[in-house]
Each structure stands twice: as structure tokens, then as C-alpha cells.
Amino acid sequence: MNIKRVLSPNLFQVSLTIVFILLFTYACTKAPITGRNQFILVTQDQELQMGDVAYTEVVNSSKISKNPEYNAAVKRVAGRIAGVANRPDFEWEYTVIDEDKTINAFALPGGKIGVYTGILKVAQTDAGLATVLSHEVGHATARHGGERITAGLLSQIGAVGLAAALGGSGMDPNLTYGIMQAYGLGVQVGGILPFSRSQESEADRIGLIYMARAGYDPRESVLFWQRMAEATKNSQRPPEFLSTHPDNGTRIANLQRHMPEAMRVYTTSKKAPNNKINFK
């Protein structure tokens, strides 16, 4: 049945508007700490399922560290961060992955956290590790994964609509192809990459507050990113506008800008011990 034929043009437009209003009402939420309005088309249950699947795949395909010092440090610090993240619905799990050359960590929807051993030497202390883990937990609590899926879906919808419009225009196929390529590049450089960098900056800010709430000195975050800059100075990185992450200098500047807010939180928190991580 063609709904346009059943409904008058005005009624069809009104009905379509109502559908979009309901969709946006259902999909709109706010990020923690920053209060930024978000538009997410996937449900939290769907995110949790995807997080579980991805976490299982990573754990099953990775060498898991048996180092008791590393595991104790991650559980100790992650437990404090999780305790202030205000997500009792998350089933927190922590895994240390034995890859000394990988300077990275991740947190998936539902509180599944993975830490590669390579980043522990950059962290050096509990407070350094708290910088890493609070940032990753910030991604999870702000539902950045769901936002990225939504951004991908919207860009695909835009591409389909553009292709349909160009296909019916009688335009030269080579020109059509060029326009579609330009659209894809524009979406990536002008939309998806800046959006990804803004999420990273937001996770830094959320993480700064989380580590302060958990009793870790937020000023340690600046020292961590200075060590990260030194540890990765020889790595090949694209210019910032072509990267998914802000460069280290940008991150440090943003952290310093939000430091007064974090220090106010830190002064009222129960202080955590800043143990030094022993490497073996």
C-alpha cells in the first residue's frame, strides 16, 4: 500500500512530522557531567549486548596477563572509578591484556574494561592509571559507542538519499560518482572525525571528574599525557584534522582548562592511595 495515496499531502506531512518528533524524543538523552544533548538511535540494551559480544571476542583472541601486580592495580583503580560513575546497571569486568607494545585501553558498553600492559609503564602510578581508566569509563557512561553507530547510520541514510536523487537526475555517471566520493570524504573529514575528537575531549573531561571523585589528584592527568607524548613521539600520526583523537597538546590544554572544576571535586573527596606500579 502506498501511504502517500491513502493520506492527503498535508496529512502525510503531519504524520511524517509526528513520527520524527517521536523518534527524536525517544532517541534524545544527555551525557553525564557535561550535560550535552545526545541523539542515539540504538537502545541501551542493544549497546550492552554489543559490548558483551565485543568483549568476549577480544578476551578470547588475546593473551591475558597473569601478572598479579598488574591485575591488582587495574582492579584496585577501576573499582574506585566504577564506584563513582553512577551506573549500578553495569556489570563491571576488568581484564589485563599481555601486549607490552600496545599503549592502549578500552571500556565497552556495560562496563567491560580492557587494559593493555603497554600503557601501564606510561601510567606508572595508580593516579596515572586512573587517568586512563576514568577516560575509558567516561566513554562507556556517555554512550559514545551508541552515538558513533547512530552517526554511521545517518551518514548511510544521507548517502542513499543522495544516490537516489542523483540517479534520477540523468546526470553523467562519472560526475555522479565524483559527487558521491566527495560526499563520503566530506562526511568523514567534516563530520565523523571531528565528532570522534569531540567525544575524546568529552571523555577526558568526564574522566577528570570521575578520578577526582574517586580520590585521585586530577593534576596527575596532565603528567600522564606528557609521558604519553614522550612515549609516542616516534609513532606515525596523521594531522589532527585527519585523526580520530586530539593530539596530546590539545588534550593537555583542555584538561588544564577544566582543572579548576575537577580540583573543587577533589578537595571534598576521600583521597585514594597513589601506589606506584611495580613492573616485572
Q: Is residue 188 part of a domain?
A: yes
Q: 196 or 78: whose pLDDT is higher?
A: 78
Please give the sequence-ordered ranges of beta strands (E in DSSP) within 52-158, or none if there are none: 93-97, 105-108, 112-116
Lowest mean pLDDT, pick from 17-31, 88-102, 201-215: 17-31
Pairing of strands 28-30, 37-39: antiparallel
Looking at the DSSP bridge assignments, the partners of residue 108 are 112
pLDDT of 27: 61
Q: Is residue 19 part of a domain?
A: no
pLDDT of 28: 76
Q: Is residue 155 part of a domain?
A: yes
Residue 162 to residues 153, 168, 169, 180, Cα–Cα distance (Å)? 14, 10, 11, 8
User: Is 136 labeled as catalytic in the residue annotation?
Assistant: yes
Q: 159 or 275: whose pLDDT is higher?
A: 275
Residues 6+ apart with CB under 8 A from 7: 15
Say if residue 226's pLDDT is above 90: yes
Residue 252 C-alpha cell reads as: 593537555
Say if residue 16's pLDDT is above 70: no
User: Is the CB of residue 28 less than 8 Å from the CB of residue 37?
Assistant: yes
Range of the domain at 44: 32-267
The pTM assigned to this predicted structure is: 0.79
Rounded to whole angstroms, the Cα distance separating 213 from 264 reads 10
Q: Is residue 249 part of a domain?
A: yes
CA neighbours closer than 13 Å in the CB half-sphere of residue 219 = 5
Rounded to whole angstroms, the Cα distance separating 271 from 214 reads 7
* Per-residue DSSP letter, 86: -
pLDDT in tens, 56-102: 999 999 999 999 999 999 999 999 999 999 999 999 999 999 999 99
pLDDT of 164: 57
Q: Is residue 275 part of a domain?
A: no
Q: Is residue 145 part of a domain?
A: yes
Q: In the chain, how many domains are there?
A: 1
Q: Is residue 147 part of a domain?
A: yes
Q: Is residue 105 part of a domain?
A: yes
Q: How many residues does the chain have?
A: 280
SS3 274: coil
- Amino acid in position 148: R
Vertex 62, ends 56 and 63: CA angle to 5°?
130
Say if residue 260's pLDDT is above 70: yes
Catalytic residue among 136, 147, 200, 220: 136
pLDDT in tens, 134-165: 999 999 999 998 888 887 776 666 555 545 55
User: Is the CB of residue 120 less than 8 Å from the CB of residue 129?
Assistant: yes
pLDDT band at 253 (very low <50, low <70, confident <90, very high): very high
